[in-house]
């Protein structure tokens, strides 16, 4: 089971000998909203399906997964990515967490600082002159940055 | 313990708050599910803090967060103004003190065995533990115990049944959404340039990225991607007209623009800075006072610098020695929690062949220079040219004028490896360049006219069987008149003439077929297998670079090697 947090819940239930009886257990996931959860479930199902289809061929799996990921990224808004990361982290779903972190990283890679601030909803909290000093010290890192 | 009492008091207040809030919430917004979760969260916090006893982390990064809760507290105070009674507000204000004192407490848990009772499903993992909900469930104070930071984040209000809530949401827009560990996960996946640039986004980011632990984790994540690291040759020469030393990098990539950086303390007209040696992405430079220093005699200050991160540390001053041979070697000491360890070996010039000679060694572990004796029973003679020692396999290698390769242990200055010359080597003139390519030692020689009546030829040998006595293998044998340059036909013509002047500058760090030559004031890329040439850049003077002197290879790492804080910087 990829949602490790949920798996742990089941394991713990067995350990505590809670006889729930019913085959469908209600698992509280207070920190995950329905929208990101739905996306994660779809991602997980797709991941397992592709893995099953290409049981021996690791490269094929990777390629197909990449294609699916590219398509998924087109449908998801950049701001939603942070929600997805939080959800994947809470559920302890490592593959999805890695994927969404990579997605955010590539969204902000080579972009200007103002863009990154806007993306994360941050404001500059540097004192006067501090930011200028940093810019001067690492001037080389500001070259070749994409236009906003 | 006083701190324990404070924490207990904090807990008491928060529980009280939770109780109060819960009651208020209950009657206004009917958040029944959230109420039970709040209780569970508090238990989770306690469990987390118990775990945290082992994970203490002293970090500079915690300091900026101390100001944050104050700001947040003001907002919460405003909210509560509208909704709660005066008593509760007064209680909440004391949370200000709680947050600041957490820094002193060192995250020691004093909540005892209560933590054991929490449901393991709510057991905290590396992120998202310690979710204490203060205020209107719109702020979550996250204690990130892996890196010892207090963070705040927004949480969307789920059930918007009251217009009050809409106003609340507008007030809580400033704080970022992500807990720190997840933010780090994103930053680790950036490339070097973007990550360095992100230091300027916000103070917290600057602290996070500058922390030494960031470097370790960043490298770990990037090490799995196999990619040829970019590199540049650093050429050091003196501009005779203006009598100034210059550093020239062969690559125009932005990352290499910093290579010529000199710390401001040494940027004076009466200080002469020279690059002495390089190892990985660190340079060893020497600053000499020009002109007489009253009394003590001219002193040299060697300093180790990482030009990309602009970190540097100076070694204690030593008497200036003209034409001393210097060797610099560095490595990560896993015993010292992956801290950088380095040695500098300085051999004062001596004439002739000798089995024993005086040596000065600096160790970063002791922070001192020590006098030592270099031992080489087979005999060692300094080369005419002041090459730096080549760091390889934990030893510093020099080519002896007796036509053999000698490797010294930088800790004991004893000769630990000794290799005779290759069979095909022409004994009448020395080698062009000793270097490392793709993990093996290499030497090369240019033979032919004017040394002997033969066509000029470049031969490159590689040292194989390093652990079993060593054997030189002739890897390449290239006659100059066979070399062709497509883009610069004048090169081809020049080399086919009788007496071309060619010097070998350096080997490519990874590509075994490539060598860098100096031909007619130009750095030329030469592919030995394809016999092709390509001009890389111009150099204003050729004098300094014969036999590869004053040429240093700089390989860009995944992340700049952090230099540990050493002794005081000396002037």
**Residue with the larger pLDDT of the pair B241 and B274:** B274
Nearest CB to B125 within list A9, A92, A145: A92
Residue B445 and residue B426 in contact, taking contact as beta carbons nearer than 8 Å = yes
Strand partners, B231: B555
Using alpha carbons only, how large is chain A's radius of gyration in Å? 21
The DSSP call for residue B227 is: -
Residue B287 and residue B273 in contact, taking contact as beta carbons nearer than 8 Å = yes
- By DSSP bridging, strand B282-289 and strand B502-507 are unpaired
Nearest CB to B201 within list A89, A122, A145: A122
Residue B252 and residue A144 in contact, taking contact as beta carbons nearer than 8 Å = no
SS3 content of chain A, % helix, strand, coil (to 5): 65, 0, 35
Q: Does the structure show a pLDDT above 50 at B538?
A: yes
Minimal C-alpha gap between A39 and chain B (Å): 19
The reply to whether residue A121 touches residue B174, judged by beta carbons under 8 angstroms, is yes
Residue B386 and residue B395 in contact, taking contact as beta carbons nearer than 8 Å = no
**Cα nearest neighbour of A141 on chain B:** B193
Select from B107, B100, B106, B112 the least CA-distant residue to B130.
Answer: B107
Residue B235 and residue B551 in contact, taking contact as beta carbons nearer than 8 Å = yes
Q: Name which of B125-129, B210-214, B437-441, B445-449 the model is least confident about.
A: B125-129
> What pLDDT score does B412 carry?
86
> What pLDDT score does B62 carry?
38
Q: Does the structure show a pLDDT above 90 at B500?
A: no
**Residue with the larger pLDDT of the pair B247 and B217:** B217
- Residue B383 burial (CB < 10 Å; 0-12/13-18/19+)? middle
HSE-CB of A141 using CA atoms within 13 angstroms: 24
**Cα nearest neighbour of A133 on chain B:** B200
> What pLDDT score does B180 carry?
83
Q: How far apart are CA A131 and CA A122, in angstroms?
A: 15
The reply to whether residue B255 touches residue A140, judged by beta carbons under 8 angstroms, is yes
Using alpha carbons only, how large is chain B's radius of gyration in Å? 32
pTM value surpassing 0.95: no
Give the distance, in angstroms, between the CA of residue B513 and the centroid of all CA atoms in the same chain. Answer: 29
Task: Output b/e per residue, B241-279; b: 16+ Cβ within 10 A.
Answer: eeeeeebbbbbeebbbbbbebbbeebeeeebbbbbbbbb
The DSSP call for residue B484 is: B
- By DSSP bridging, strand B149-154 and strand B139-144 are antiparallel
Q: Does the structure show a pLDDT above 90 at B149?
A: no
Interface contact B116, partner A, CB < 8 A: no
Select from A68, A47, A59, A36 the least CA-distant residue to A2.
Answer: A47
Summarize the confidence of residues B242-271 as an average pLDDT: 78
Select from B309, B281, B342, B254 the least CA-distant residue to B555.
Answer: B281
The reply to whether residue A89 touches residue B206, judged by beta carbons under 8 angstroms, is no
The reply to whether residue B202 touches residue A92, judged by beta carbons under 8 angstroms, is no
Sheet holding B149-154, edge to edge: B131-134, B139-144, B149-154
Residue B405 and residue B341 in contact, taking contact as beta carbons nearer than 8 Å = no
* Optimal mutation site among B144, B193, B210, interface A, most CBs of chain A within 10 A: B193
Q: How far apart are CA B380 and CA B357, in angstroms?
A: 9
- Residue B113 burial (CB < 10 Å; 0-12/13-18/19+)? exposed
Q: What is the DSSP string of B124-138?
A: --SSS--EEEETTTT
Q: Average pLDDT of chain B?
A: 70
Q: How far apart are CA A121 and CA B153, in angstroms?
A: 11
Name the band, by pLDDT with cuts 50, 70 and 90, for residue B397: very high
Interface contact A104, partner B, CB < 8 A: yes
The reply to whether residue B194 touches residue A108, judged by beta carbons under 8 angstroms, is yes
Residue written as tokens 């390449």? B476
Nearest CB to B176 within list A105, A111, A120: A120
Summarize the confidence of residues B150-156 as an average pLDDT: 38
């Amino acid at each position: 089971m990829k949602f490790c947090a949920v798996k742990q819940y089941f394991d713990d239930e067995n350990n505590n000998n809670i006889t729930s009886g019913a085959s469908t257990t209600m698992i509280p996931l207070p920190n995950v909203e329905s929208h990101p959860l739905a996306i994660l479930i779809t991602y997980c199902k797709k991941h397992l399906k592709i893995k099953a289809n290409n049981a021996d061929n690791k490269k094929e799996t990777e390629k197909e997964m990449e294609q699916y990921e590219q398509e998924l990224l087109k449908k998801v808004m950049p701001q939603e990515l942070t929600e997805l990361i939080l959800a994947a982290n809470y559920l302890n779903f490592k593959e999805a967490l890695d994927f969404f972190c990579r997605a955010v990283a590539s969204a902000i890679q080579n972009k200007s600082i103002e863009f990154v601030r806007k993306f994360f909803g941050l404001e500059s909290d540097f004192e006067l002159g501090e930011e200028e000093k940093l810019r001067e010290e690492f001037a080389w890192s500001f070259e070749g940055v994409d236009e906003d | 313990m006083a701190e324990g009492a404070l924490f207990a008091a904090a807990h008491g207040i928060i529980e009280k708050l939770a109780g109060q809030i819960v009651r208020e919430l209950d009657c206004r917004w009917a958040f029944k599910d959230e109420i039970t979760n709040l209780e569970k969260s508090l238990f989770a916090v306690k469990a987390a803090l118990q775990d945290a006893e082992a994970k203490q982390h002293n970090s500079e990064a915690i300091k900026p967060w101390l100001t944050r809760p104050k700001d947040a507290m003001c907002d919460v105070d405003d909210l509560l103004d509208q909704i709660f009674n005066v008593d509760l507000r007064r209680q909440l204000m004391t949370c200000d003190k709680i947050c600041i004192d957490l820094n002193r407490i060192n995250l020691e848990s004093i909540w005892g065995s209560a933590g054991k009772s929490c449901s393991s499903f709510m057991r905290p993992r590396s992120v998202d533990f310690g979710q204490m909900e203060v205020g209107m469930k719109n702020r979550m104070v996250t204690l990130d115990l892996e890196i010892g930071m207090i963070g705040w984040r927004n949480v969307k209000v789920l059930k918007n049944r009251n217009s009050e809530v809409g106003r609340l949401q507008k007030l809580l827009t400033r704080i970022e959404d992500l807990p720190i560990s997840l933010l780090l996960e994103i930053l680790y996946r950036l490339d070097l340039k973007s990550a360095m640039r992100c230091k300027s986004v916000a103070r917290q980011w600057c602290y996070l990225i500058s922390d030494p632990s960031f470097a370790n984790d960043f490298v770990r994540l990037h090490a799995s991607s196999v990619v040829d690291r970019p590199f540049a040759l650093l050429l050091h020469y003196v501009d005779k007209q203006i009598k100034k030393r210059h550093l020239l990098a062969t690559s125009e990539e932005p990352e290499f623009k910093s290579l010529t950086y000199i710390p401001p303390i040494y940027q004076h007209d009466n200080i002469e800075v020279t690059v002495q040696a390089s190892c990985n992405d660190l340079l060893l430079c020497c600053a000499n006072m020009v002109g007489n220093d009253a009394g003590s005699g001219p002193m040299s200050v060697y300093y180790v610098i990482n030009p990309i991160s602009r970190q540097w540390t100076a070694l204690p001053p030593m008497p200036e020695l003209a034409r001393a041979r210097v060797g610099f070697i560095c490595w990560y000491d896993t015993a010292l929690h992956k801290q950088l360890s380095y040695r500098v070996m300085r051999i004062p010039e001596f004439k002739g062949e000798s089995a024993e000679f005086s040596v000065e060694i600096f160790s970063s572990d002791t922070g001192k220079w020590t006098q030592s004796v270099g031992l080489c029973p087979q005999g060692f003679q300094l080369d005419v040219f002041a090459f730096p020692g080549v760091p390889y396999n934990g030893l510093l290698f020099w080519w002896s004028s007796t036509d053999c390769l000698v490797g010294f242990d930088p800790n004991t200055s004893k000769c630990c490896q000794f290799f005779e010359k290759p069979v095909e080597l022409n004994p009448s003139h020395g080698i062009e360049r000793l270097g490392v390519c793709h993990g093996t030692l290499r030497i090369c020689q240019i033979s032919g006219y004017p040394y002997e009546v033969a066509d000029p030829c470049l031969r490159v040998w590689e040292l194989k069987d390093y652990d079993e006595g060593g054997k030189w293998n002739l890897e390449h044998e290239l006659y100059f008149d066979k070399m062709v340059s497509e883009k610069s036909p004048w090169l081809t013509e020049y080399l086919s003439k009788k007496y071309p002047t060619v010097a070998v500058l350096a080997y490519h760090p990874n590509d075994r077929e490539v060598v860098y030559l100096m031909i007619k004031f130009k750095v030329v890329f030469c592919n030995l297998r394809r016999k092709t040439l390509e001009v890389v850049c111009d150099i204003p003077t050729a004098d300094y670079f014969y036999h590869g002197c004053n040429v240093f290879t700089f390989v860009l790492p995944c992340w700049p090697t952090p230099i540990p804080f050493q002794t005081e910087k000396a002037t």
